[in-house]
Amino acid sequence: SGMSKEERILDWVKQHAVVGDPQSVVDAMDVYSRQKEWSMHVGDIKGVIVDKVMEEVKPQILLELGTYCGYSAVRMAHLLPPGGHLFTIEFNESFATIAQQVIEVAGLRDKISILKGPSQEIIPQLKKKYEINSVDMVFLDHWKSRYLPDTKLLEENGIIRKGTVLLADNVICPGAPDFLEYVRNSKRYECTTYPVENIRVNDALEKAVFLG
Ligand SMILES: O=C(c1ccccc1)c1ccc(O)c(O)c1[N+](=O)[O-]
Ligand SMILES: [Mg+2]
């Protein structure tokens, strides 16, 4: 049956990245996506916005929803302040297996924990099972229809606190209209939109700061 697309991406990373060098892993995945097969990671253009928010927030505890092959996990974990940690939730077992190996190549196994399973099951377990009190930043990049219900779960389970920054990919394409409407109209969030006229599609990232 041949290799999956994600296995091809991992193979490319193994052949083109430098072990222990997160930037070379990010660069290799960007080259593969541009020159071989478009892949749904946040990518180099939107990635600059992610980097900027990481430098602003300097999160100690960062939660990612949607690991895929680990591109944004590597890109963000590389920018974590000393002692910082990234927990990333991935529902798809084969994606999680690929991501773990990509993270190994980057040399970031100690900074990243992949939590396998559906976000709606894992979020309520974060406090007790993973000893997470609250998170400083959340990067939403999983199923777009899960952005709003999972944001409400994060609120209800006390995982986000006053000042926690939500950063959501794809709020225009494929789009997360219910999430956008919720955070933009809620008095409990301060929102900023980062539009990107990308090479393929127009999209935007939304930053929503929880006000508690
Ligand atoms: O949903 C898709 C999608 C839909 C159809 C075909 C391919 C991908 C997608 C597209 C761009 C993204 O940045 C992204 O995070 C996703 N995703 O699946 O989470
Ligand atoms: Mg995305």
* pLDDT score for 201: 85
Minimal-distance CA residue to ligand 1 atom 7: 40
Q: Say if ligand 1 is within 6 A of residue 90 CB.
A: no
Neighbouring C-beta atoms of residue 198, cutoff 10 Å: 15
The ipTM is 0.97
Joined tokens for residue 111? 């900074």
* Residue 170 Cβ contacting ligand 1 at under 6 Å: yes
Q: Is the CB of 201 under 6 A from ligand 1?
A: no
Is-contact 107 56, C-beta < 8 A? no
Mutate to test the pocket of ligand 1, among 170, 201, 205, 206 (most ligand atoms within 8 A of CB): 170
Report pLDDT for 134: 97
**Dist. CA 27–CA 12, nearest whole Å:** 11
The three-point CA angle 207-187-153 to 5° equals 65
C-alpha angle 67-76-78 in degrees, rounded to nearest 5: 120
Give residue 157 CA to ligand 2 midpoint distance, Å: 24
Residue 145 CB–ligand 1 contact under 6 Å: no
Sheet order of strands, 160-168 included? 112-116, 85-90, 61-65, 135-140, 160-168, 202-210, 189-197
What is the C-alpha separation between 154 and 161, in angstroms, rounded?
A: 9
Q: How far apart are CA 28 and CA 70, in angstroms?
A: 12
Residue of 40, 44, 179 to mutate, ligand 1, most atoms within 8 A of C-beta: 40
**Counting ligands in written order, which one lies closest to the CA of residue 142?**
1
Coil, helix or strand for 31?
Answer: helix
pTM higher than 0.90 for the full model? yes
DSSP string, 154-210: HHHTT-EEEEEEEEES-IIIII-HHHHHHHHH-TTEEEEEEEEE-SS-EEEEEEEEE
HSE of 84, CA atoms in CB hemisphere, 13 A: 22
Q: Is 190 within 8 Å of 163 (Cβ atoms)?
A: no
Interval 129-154: pLDDT, tens: 999 999 999 999 999 999 999 999 99
User: What pLDDT shows up at residue 1?
Assistant: 75
Per-residue pLDDT of the chain (212 residues; tens, 9 = 90+): 789 999 999 999 999 999 999 999 999 999 999 999 999 999 999 999 999 999 999 999 999 999 999 999 999 999 999 999 999 999 999 999 999 999 999 999 999 999 999 999 999 999 999 999 999 999 999 999 999 999 999 999 999 999 999 999 999 999 999 999 999 999 999 999 999 987 678 999 999 999 99
Tell me which residue has its CA closest to atom 1 in ligand 1: 174
